[in-house]
Structure formats: C-alpha cells, structure tokens
Amino acid sequence: MKIGKVSETILKRSIFKQIRTKRDEVLLGAGVGEDCAAIKLEPGEVFVISTDPITGTVKDVGTLAIQVTVNDLASSGAEPVGVMLTVLLPEEITEEDIREMMGQVEEACAKSGIQVMGGHTEVTRAVNQPVISVTGVGKVGENRLISTAGARAGQDILVTKWIGIEGTSIIAKEREEELLTRFSRSFVETAKGFDQYLSVLPEARLAAEFGISAMHDVTEGGIYGALWELAEASGIGLEIDLKSIPIRQETVEVCEYFGLNPYYLISSGCMLMAGERGHDLVRELQKAGIPAAVIGKAVEGKAKRILNGEEEAFLERPKTDELYKIYK
C-alpha cells in the first residue's frame, strides 16, 4: 500500500464495516474525519484510561491488542467501555490483512462488550510489521476504584490461573513447526490454545465485589516483574513461596526448550491480587471455575523474598521480557 493514511474507501470497507459492537455511553464514535470520541458518564462515576501497544507478535495481533487493554482496565475494578486504536502498518500490508486484523479486533470487543470509538490508521516505513497501540476507556464508581498501590502489610498475595500462558501461546504459534520437531501435535495445540484464558474480566469483577485491595495484570516482565511493581507501588515487602506459583507443564517444557525463564515471561490472563482473606477469595474464584492460589504475603519493609524450600532469593528489578529472546 501507499505510504500515508489508509484511504477513505478502505476505511469504510475494511475498518469501519468491521466495527459493530456499540455502547450507549458513546455519544460520538468512529467516523471519517472524526478526531475525538465522546462518552457520557453517570453521576459518581469516573473515567479509567489505559494505553498499551502490541509489538511482540504479528499472530492474532488484533485480539491481543484488545485483550491486554481490557485486562488493564479490569485490574482497576473498572467496566471497560471502549477503545481508541492507533494502527501503524508496513508497506507490504494488504487490504485482506487489514480486514482480518480488524475482524479480530471486533470479535475481541464483542466478547468484552466494548466499542471501537475511533483512532488512526496509517501505512508507514517506520514499522516492518503491524503495530497496534490501544487506548482503553472504562468507568467505575468513585469509591470502587482499585489500584496496584493498594496492598498492605499482612495481606495475602494471590494469582489467578497460571503464569506464562500468554507467552506460551504466542511462542507455540510463532514457532509451531520447530516445536513439532520435539513435541506432539496435541501438546503444541494445547499450548496454542492458552489464548482462551487471556481475559481477566471474570476474576476482576468477582475480586472487586469481594473487596480486594490491589490488582495488577501480569503482562510484560512476567510474574516477577508484576510482583516487583506491586511491592514498589504499595511500599511493602514480599515473602513469596516459589512452589505455590501455578504454572502449566506446557509452559515449563516450552521455556526449557527455548532456554527461557517462565517467571519473566509475559503472562496476560494471570491476575495478581493482594487482600484480606485470600484463601476465602480463592475458594470463591474456584466456585466460579477460575483457578487461583495464594502464593505468599505482603510484609513490612522493602525486602522482596522468594522462598524455595530452604533456599532464599530476592526479586530483582523487572527485566526485558523473555518472549523477545525467541526473535533473536
């Protein structure tokens, strides 16, 4: 395609036509020449805004772009309402590629009940693969806002589902043929299918109703990065039992094959939480069909300890996500 804005014809035919999910709160949405979106809020509600790019993969980029942003909004206790997209495309992109990508976006939006409210689409020499940057908007009652900084000493630290599931799914899709030389097809298909677990909306809603103090979606940098960020934001220390951190065997084996550390692997779909009565919340989550586990405690001070039986280590500052090593 030619460098510059995507043509009005393609906008209407392959982008706007894919946007079908609508929200009553959105007064002004996506359209030719519209530079802004307008949203109506009820009294006592506040906006929650999040932004994230997807740069680590080209497979299912539309789906991941929406899911990551929805998860960020959910971690604040907010109900996601809509997204604004900035889509940067390489010259070799085809209209069919754009239509497929926007189809993924709309499908993910429909599942979460949110609307694409607008954005910008451009073909540029600055990228060699599609890049989607998403700004998400949600709403929450003023007294129900949850932050990463809400953890307090003495509270339980817990996670939902398993660490590394997003990274495992991405690797299984990007390196499928290579993995099939080592593992069975059923193993690889299972790993690819971990993307079905990427939404944290259900657990976020349940945890918010339970009265959780802090939530943090485990994304780039993996569980170790998320634990560091939670502790730093809240001004607490941590005592984490390594053996209590849930991980799928597929993730263990895929990471061993590529020489990756699963504790630093991108982990959307895994929600990190801090609060009172963590074991009670785990039981409530499990009743709803959501695996969860208490993995440690928030403590006074700044030390962030990882306990593995008799061994003890300390968390380091977040590192570059392990996912990027497969592209070297």
Whether residues 170 and 306 fall in one domain: yes
**Alpha-carbon 33 to chain mean position:** 30
Cβ count near 291 (within 10 Å): 15
Whether residues 315 and 270 fall in one domain: yes
- Domain end residue (candidates: 144, 164, 193): 144
Whether residues 171 and 310 fall in one domain: yes
Range of the domain at 169: 148-327
Does position 60 have pLDDT exceeding 90, yes or no? no
Alpha-helical (H) ranges within the chain are 8-10, 61-74, 95-112, 165-174, 176-180, 185-192, 201-210, 222-234, 249-258, 278-287
**Cα–Cα distance, 64 to 217 (Å, whole number):** 14
Here the CATH number for the domain that contains residue 259 is: 3.90.650.10
| SS3 assignment, position 129 | coil
Vertex 21: Cα angle to 20 and 23 (nearest 5): 135
Whether residues 156 and 280 fall in one domain: yes
- Domain end residue (candidates: 144, 164, 194): 144
The number of distinct structural domains making up the chain is 2
Whether residues 90 and 115 fall in one domain: yes
Whether residues 174 and 199 fall in one domain: yes
Which of the residue ranges 25-39, 78-92, 243-257, 280-294 would you say has the lowest mean pLDDT?
A: 25-39
Reported as a single tens digit per residue, the pLDDT across 259-317 is 999 999 999 999 999 999 999 999 999 999 999 999 999 999 999 999 999 999 999 98
Residue bearing the bigger pLDDT, 69 or 29: 69
Here the CATH number for the domain that contains residue 31 is: 3.30.1330.10
| Amino acid (1-letter code) at residue 236 | I
Whether residues 179 and 99 fall in one domain: no
- Domain end residue (candidates: 144, 167, 202): 144
Whether residues 154 and 102 fall in one domain: no
Q: What's the chain's average pLDDT?
A: 93
165: which 2 tokens? 């599931």
Whether residues 124 and 173 fall in one domain: no
**Cα–Cα distance, 223 to 318 (Å, whole number):** 10
Whether residues 231 and 296 fall in one domain: yes
Whether residues 307 and 167 fall in one domain: yes
- What was the pLDDT predicted at 34? 64
- What was the pLDDT predicted at 270? 97
Closest residue by Cα to residue 198 from 163, 174, 148, 153? 163
Whether residues 172 and 191 fall in one domain: yes
